Amino acid sequence: MFKMIAARLKQGHRTMKYPGGPAPETSDRFRGRPSIAATGCPEGCRACAGACPTGAVSVTDRVRIDLGKCLFCADCASACPAQVITFTQDHRLAVRNRQDLCLEQGQTGVPLAAALEPKLLSLFGRSLKLRQVSAGGCNACEADVNVLNTVGWDLGRFGIQFVASPRHADGLLITGPVTRNMELALEKTYAATPEPKIVIALGACAISGGPYLDHSQANNGATALLPVDLFIPGCPPHPLTILDGLLRLTGRITD
């Protein structure tokens, strides 16, 4: 017992100070929000759109990237001869409306998620219980969600916890493209969650179908079946991106 106490005192406080302090550093390889330069795109060049595996990049009068479809693979940036598309280190990506995930050439960012409406915020701002539904995903998003429950992140200190039953939940956090085999299960889970409730779509699969877009055995994400209150893009989203979105939704971050 005394050895355990001594070891704990030696380790000290291990939970990060964020958001009260600086955000933890990300790897140099981390790909955050894409940036599309306002000028420099060669006329008639569509190399970026041709390289995108999910059709997230389109070129008409200007270049557009749908972050809801983006896998953050950076194939578009590699294909661009003028380096018009680059990836920043900005982890802030969560939005409230699906259309806000469409990034246009020259746009410096996306309209970041606002807090819940006052009535819902009064209910969920200090205590939010979520039922996580893995609707046919590859478990990458689930793995990064699990990171938030480790001692370094300690999601519970914000009053946000995951529960085993939808009947104990305030909302759903959905990952995966919602395969046909999971469609009924998701609908039943949503129905079992008491009102009022919220829905969070996490990752490219849950938002748009990701690499399974338009597959005959998938539903292109949760948006076709349920009303979604928060979209957190990525493949998978970084834990910092997930945490930022949850804290914005609950009014903990307002900048």
Give the sheet arrangement for strand 63-66, strand by strand. Answer: 57-59, 63-66, 102-104
Task: Put the strands of the sheet holding 171-175 in their side by side order.
Answer: 160-162, 128-134, 171-175, 198-202, 230-232
Instruction: Write down the domain spans for the chain.
Output: 118-249
- Work out whether the CA dihedral 224, 104, 60, 69 comes out positive or negative: negative
pLDDT of 42 reads: 87
pTM: 0.94
From first to last of its 255 residues, what are the pLDDT tens digits of the chain? 788 878 777 777 679 999 988 888 899 999 999 999 998 888 889 999 999 999 999 999 899 999 999 999 999 999 999 999 999 999 999 999 999 999 999 888 899 999 999 999 999 999 999 999 999 999 999 999 999 999 999 999 999 999 999 999 999 999 999 999 999 999 999 999 999 999 999 999 999 999 999 999 999 999 989 999 999 999 999 999 999 999 999 999 988
Give me the pLDDT at residue 6, please. 80
Report pLDDT for 153.
95
Question: 188-228 pLDDT, tens per residue?
Answer: 999 999 999 999 999 999 999 999 999 999 999 999 899 99
Residues 6+ apart with CB under 8 A from 176: 133, 134, 135, 136, 137, 138, 141, 182, 203, 205, 206
CATH of the domain spanning 118-249: 3.40.50.12280
Cα separation of 3 and 165, whole Å? Answer: 38
Q: What is the pLDDT of residues 85-113, one digit of tens each?
A: 999 999 999 999 999 999 999 888 899 99
* Residue closest to 66 by CA, chosen among 80, 74, 81, 56: 56
Please state, rounded to an integer, the average pLDDT across all residues of the chain. Answer: 94
pLDDT at 101: 97
